[in-house]
């Protein structure tokens, strides 16, 4: 069975606290199996583990996400060192060309986020080449298309189509999610997919953008966050277990 992922759900969606169970039920009924919760790193009152535990009752997997808003490249480097191992998903808001360029090639960054259509211009063919090298994905928020009308919406659609076209041509990963700040801004997987059609993203890639692509990013980072991880392809192995496996192979 295909798992659908909403890779951006702000922690504010789960407020008030008394409504957490009802909100999780709604998210499950929408058709999602996995949710990435964007956390406010300064908000000590927010209890992610409590929500994660309740989510198990609705067959939902929850993962931590942190969205960085660096002032410059040096600030980005500092924030990456500070937060990379504190979450499963780490994104960078690409409000400047230099920040976007650095984030695209840094393997510690999972997602390039463009908070509004003015910043989409920072994504170019050269940036896409760096994103392929750095294995970073670009993110498209459904929420952005809800808050604009008229000529602004037309410009947003045109610019996002340009970005998506470059990404597809260069082989950059694409993620489509809700970008929700409250439960009313969430959308079912089929609605997220409909946005893909609007942006001329082929059906195959649209399905990947809401399922396999985000799942693979999460899976990769879970491995990297393991205490046994050293570097890609290298892990610390329990020698007793390894010897037992070798013995088993010999006996058979």
Domain that holds residue 99: 5-251
**pLDDT tens digits for range 165-213:** 999 999 999 999 999 999 999 999 999 999 999 999 999 999 999 999 9
Opening angle at CA 79, ends 73 and 82, nearest 5: 150
Pull the structure tokens for residue 187.
């959308």
State the pLDDT at residue 69: 95
State the pLDDT at residue 234: 53
CATH of the domain at 151: 3.20.20.140
- Per the structure, how many domains does the chain have? 1
State the pLDDT at residue 1: 76
Q: Please tell me the distance from the alpha carbon of residue 27 to that of residue 32, in angstroms, as a whole number.
A: 6
Burial class (CB in 10 A: 0-12, 13-18, 19+), 85: exposed
Tell me how far CA of residue 63 lies from CA of 3, 34, 134, in angstroms: 14, 8, 22
**How large is the average pLDDT for residues 154-175?**
96
pLDDT class of 230 with cuts at 50, 70, 90: very low
Q: Please tell me the distance from the alpha carbon of residue 111 to that of residue 80, in angstroms, as a whole number.
A: 13
State the pLDDT at residue 41: 77
- Is a pLDDT exceeding 90 seen at residue 245? no
More confident residue, 175 or 242: 175
List of residues 6+ apart from 13 with CB closer than 8 A: 23, 37, 180, 181, 182, 183, 186
pLDDT class of 246 with cuts at 50, 70, 90: low
pLDDT class of 228 with cuts at 50, 70, 90: low
- Is a pLDDT exceeding 90 seen at residue 227? no
Which H/E stretch holds residue 77?
helix 73-83
Range in 11-15, 180-184, 225-229 with the lowest mean pLDDT: 225-229
233: left (phi over 0), alpha (psi -120 to 50) or beta: left
**pLDDT tens digits for range 92-106:** 999 999 999 999 999
State the pLDDT at residue 148: 84
Opening angle at CA 36, ends 34 and 37, nearest 5: 135
Output the pTM of the full model: 0.87
Which H/E stretch holds residue 229?
strand 229-231
The residue behind tokens 């997919």 is 193
Q: Please tell me the distance from the alpha carbon of residue 98 to that of residue 86, in angstroms, as a whole number.
A: 25
**pLDDT tens digits for range 55-83:** 999 999 999 999 999 999 999 999 999 99
């Amino acid at each position: 069975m295909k798992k659908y992922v909403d890779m951006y759900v702000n922690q504010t969606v789960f407020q008030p606290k008394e409504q957490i169970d009802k909100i999780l039920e709604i998210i499950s009924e929408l058709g999602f199996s996995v949710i990435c919760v964007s956390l406010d790193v300064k908000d000590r009152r927010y209890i992610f583990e409590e929500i994660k535990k309740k989510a198990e009752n609705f067959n939902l997997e929850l993962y931590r996400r942190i969205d960085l808003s660096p002032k410059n490249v040096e600030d980005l480097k500092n924030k990456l060192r500070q937060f990379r191992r504190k979450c499963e998903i780490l994104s960078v808001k690409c409000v400047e060309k230099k920040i976007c360029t650095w984030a695209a090639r840094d393997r510690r960054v999972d997602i390039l986020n463009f908070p509004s259509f003015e910043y989409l211009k920072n994504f170019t063919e050269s940036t896409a080449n760096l994103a392929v090298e750095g294995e970073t994905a670009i993110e498209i928020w459904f929420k952005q298309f809800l808050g604009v009308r008229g000529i602004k919406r037309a410009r947003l659609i045109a610019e996002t189509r340009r970005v998506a076209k470059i990404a597809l041509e260069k082989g950059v990963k694409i993620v489509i999610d809700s970008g929700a700040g409250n439960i009313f801004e969430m959308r079912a997987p089929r609605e997220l997919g409909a946005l893909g059609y609007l942006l001329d993203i082929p059906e195959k890639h649209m399905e990947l953008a809401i399922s396999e692509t985000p799942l693979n990013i999460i899976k990769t980072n879970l491995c990297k966050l393991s205490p046994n991880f050293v570097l890609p392809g290298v892990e610390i192995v329990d020698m007793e277990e390894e010897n037992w496996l070798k013995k088993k192979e010999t006996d058979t």
